[in-house]
Amino acid sequence: MPVTTAEPPSPKAIERTVEQLRNGGLALLATDTVYGIVADIRRDDAVDALYAAKGKRRREPLQLLCSTNLEVLNAYAELTQAAGTLIDALGPGPWTIITTAAQGWTSPALAGGVTAGLRLPPTPTIQAVIAGLGAPLAASSANRHGERSPTTCAQAVASLGRFCAAAIDDGPTPEGVDSTVVDCSRTPPRVLREGAIPAATIATHLGLEGIEVVRRVGV
C-alpha cells in the first residue's frame, strides 16, 4: 500500500519497517545528509523496484548502508586492511568506503561492477533498522533521478511515497558538506571526493604522508 504519511520514530515503527523490507517493500528513512529510499540488499526484486521508483539508470550502482558489524560487512565486501582501519578510526559518519564486493556475491545494486560503496550513517533509526534486518540496505536519495535530494520526510513522501511500504519521519536532515569518498579497492587508497572529512585526516589514520585527491566538493 503506498505511503501517504510517515510514522515518528519508535520501536514499533522500526519493527514494521523491518518487516516490510523483509517482504520486499521499499522504505523512506533519514540519513545524516538527506532522506533515502532503501531496500533489503538480499532482495533482488526490491533492489530492482528501487531503481524503477527512482527512474535511475541500472548502470549506476547503489550505496550500501551498513552497521560496523564486521561479520556482516564481510559477507558483502572484501575489507582491506585500510578499509578496516578507517572503520575502526572513524566509525559511522559522513564518509563512504569503496571496496571490492565479496567474492561470490552479486546484486543489481552493483550495476554489473565489482566494487561496493559502503556508507555507515550514524542516524539511530537507520542503524536500528539495519540491526533488525541483519543486513545492509541498498539505498539512494529519495527523489526521482535528476531531482533535488529531499531533506524532509514530507518531500521524500511526495516524491516517492507511492512506491514505498513504510516511512519514518526523523525531522529535517542537517544540510552540510557532502560525504568524503575513499577508494580502498586499490593500493594505495585515494580520496575520490574530499568532503566533510578532510583528506589529511584520512591520510593520518592510514599512516600515510599524503593521499591522492581526485575531486574536492565544489571543485
Query: What class has domain 11-205?
Result: alpha beta
Mean pLDDT score of the chain, rounded to an integer? Answer: 92
Handedness of CA 32, 68, 27, 171 (dihedral sign): negative
- Tell me the whole-structure pTM to 2 decimals: 0.91
Average pLDDT over residues 195-204: 93
* pLDDT tens, residue by residue, 21-56: 999 999 999 998 889 999 999 999 999 999 999 998
Give yes or no for residue 205 having a pLDDT over 90. yes
Grid coordinates representing 209 are: 604522508
Kindly report the backbone phi and psi dihedral angles of residue 175, in degrees, each rounded to the nearest multiple of 5, phi listed first. Answer: -90, 110
pLDDT at residue 175 in the model: 67
pLDDT average, residue stretch 167-194: 90
Question: Which of 181, 198, 191 shows the shortest CA–CA distance to 214?
Answer: 191
**H-type alpha helices, the chain:** 11-22, 44-54, 70-73, 81-90, 124-133, 153-160, 199-205
CA distance 188 to 211: 8
Task: Quote the pLDDT of residue 22.
Answer: 98
Query: Please, how many CA atoms are within 13 Å of residue 147, restricted to the half-sphere of its CB?
Result: 18
Residue 178 DSSP symbol: P
Do the Cβ atoms of 138 and 50 come closer than 8 Å? yes
DSSP state of 145: T
